[in-house]
Chains A and B, each alone.
Chain A
Amino acid sequence: MASEEESTVKEPLDLIRLSLDERIYVKLRSERELRGKLHHNLKRKKIFGEPILETLPCKAYDQHLNMILGEVEEVITTVEIDDETYEEIVRTTKRMVPFLFVRGDGVILVAPPLRTA
């Protein structure tokens, strides 16, 4: 019973609870996106019982959507307009952060990993 209760989605935040330690996609204000990355090698290592630092993404969250994420790729998108041709130039800047606390008030959406069930 308890395990069934743990795996069903009754309220929106349950969706994130089920994504703990899965890779998730977070869209933030000011054209920022965060993506977690799966590290297959590290995951496999852990199965063999070696004590390694876990590097899978969503570590913790609360009702404000404050979150701690691991192995985060942040993508910032900026759109500039060319002075002469008036064409839109889309630029993306990427960077990696090993561990990041994200304040919930900047979060627009959280998408769980794709499930094939």
Chain B
Amino acid sequence: MLFFSYFKDLVGREVTVELKNDLAIRGTLHSVDQYLNIKLENTKVVDQDKYPHMLSVRNCFIRGSVVRYVQLPPDGVDVELLHDATRREARGG
């Protein structure tokens, strides 16, 4: 639940989602669910020369299981909050 809540707080921010097939998509986080499926708006493929077939895609839904990384905005990480939440969750609370 920790990362679900974390990503809910990031809604509206710009993120770059890197998929397991090396495709990287940058866009505004529209929504996220419990499986960490992600919906992005105003999407742009990072390497357009390599993936020209994605040029016209503006919105997309990404199945959580195909995500490798999500690059986060540096000011979108509240370290103290994350630590507390992680310790609480590790304790099984």
A68 & B82 in contact (Cβ 8 Å cutoff):
yes
Question: For this complex, into which size category does the number of interface residues on chain B fall?
Answer: 20 to 34
Chain B facing A: main interface SS: helix
Q: Considering the chains assembled together, what is the distance between the CA atoms of A10 and B65 in angstroms?
A: 30
A60 at the interface (CB under 8 A from B): yes
Q: Considering the chains assembled together, what is the distance between the CA atoms of A71 and B48 in angstroms?
A: 26
Question: For this complex, into which size category does the number of interface residues on chain A fall?
Answer: 20 to 34
B86 & A101 in contact (Cβ 8 Å cutoff):
no
Q: Considering the chains assembled together, what is the distance between the CA atoms of A44 and B73 in angstroms?
A: 24
Give the chain A neighbours of B87 by CB distance below 8 A. Answer: 17, 20
A residues near B (Cβ < 8 Å) are 13-14, 17, 20-21, 28, 30, 53-54, 59-62, 66, 68, 70, 97-103, 105-106
A17-B87, A99-B71, A99-B72 given; name 14 further pairs at CB < 8 Å: A17-B86, A20-B86, A21-B79, A28-B68, A30-B20, A59-B79, A62-B86, A68-B3, A68-B77, A70-B79, A98-B74, A99-B77, A101-B71, A103-B68
